[in-house]
Amino acid sequence: MSAATAARVSEEKEVTYLQAISEALDEEMTRDQRVFLMGEDIGVYGGAFKITEGFLEKYGEWRVLDTPLAESGFVGAAIGAAMMGLRPVVEMQFADFISCAFDQITEVAGKNHYRLGAAVPLVIRAPFGVGVHGGPFHSECPEGWFFHSPGLKIVAPSPPYDAKGLLKAAIRDPNPVLYFEHKFLYRRLKAVLPKEDYIVPIGKADVKRSGTDISVITYGAMVHVALEAAETLSKEGIDVEVLDLRTLSPLDKESIFASVRKTSKAIVLHEDNKTGGVGAEIAALLSEECFGCLDGPIMRIAAPDTPVPFSTPLVLKKA
């Protein structure tokens, strides 16, 4: 091993998806005194998933605020703080509860820039998705609710590297970002991350696997499902390209179109319900912009239009 390689490895360490998120919060709070956290049980308890464990002791109760069970109230307070120059990061204990703050997010945070020209540097962390026996009220993928709301940015990282880099980029962004983190990935993924500061730019997709036969366009936990399927299909001589959107709003249309123009076939894969999901918009865009290069119909693979069951066999059937 060369001296340069040894030095680089010494500056890297392996962390889980959950730890990557925690590191991003910690580093941004250290870097910028305007960053503070709000959410249910994030202080004394350390968060439902222990992402903010130890933060209260390190940063104090004025920067790690335990809130009541009142999402509309504390999101509204966070919007006000953001408009006064602070950078709040709000945790929804589960993404499902974000509906309680729907008006604040879409009608206040999302529209203030358009109405007033005001920056609203707010991040809302939303643990979403199935795989943890959460049942119908703790397993939803509600990104589609906000997908067509002007003024909001939406990100959904899949590997730990992106989880950390996208959260840091979201915190530094001058306007509201919904950060959908997948609960199933928290302790199941590990990766070696650089010690030095980095961000993953919002609005840029990433080709996680290059291929020539068909494009699978996806995000979140489904990226890993797609990669597994691609490896299986490679044994049958089918070369699958996996495009990780990373950002849902704004969509990286150029990367989507480039992938499909190369392969001439497209599958859009997501965990959210099929009707009215992100996949429907992508399919429409492809039909408008890439119709001439398609060799077959655009296919959507998504969840049926039902609530998420608790039972493992039913979850597997739903998936």
CA–CA separation, 265 and 304 (whole Å): 23
Q: Specify the pLDDT at position 316.
A: 58
As a whole number, mean pLDDT of residues 266-279 equals 95
To the question of domain 206-318 being in CATH 3.40.50.920, the answer is: yes
- Give 288 or 138, the one with higher predicted confidence: 288
Same fold, 3-194 and 206-318: yes
Nearest one of 190, 210, 226, 313 to 262, comparing CA atoms: 210
Domain locations in the chain as residue ranges = 3-194, 206-318
Superfamily the domain 3-194 falls into: Thiamin diphosphate (ThDP)-binding fold, Pyr/PP domains (3.40.50.970)
As a whole number, mean pLDDT of residues 295-316 equals 84
pLDDT digits (tens, 9 = 90+) for 173-226: 999 999 999 999 999 999 999 999 999 999 999 999 999 999 999 999 999 999
Q: Which amino acid is at 267?
A: I
Full-model pTM: 0.92
CA–CA separation, 206 and 227 (whole Å): 13
Token pair of 25 as six digits: 């919060």
CA–CA separation, 241 and 227 (whole Å): 9
Report how far apart, in Å, the C-alpha atoms of 80 and of each of 1, 109, 204 are: 53, 9, 29
- Spatial neighbors of 117 by CB under 8 A, at least 6 apart, are none
Sign of the dihedral defined by the CA atoms of residues 274, 150, 157, 101, in that order: negative
- The residues that are catalytic are 138
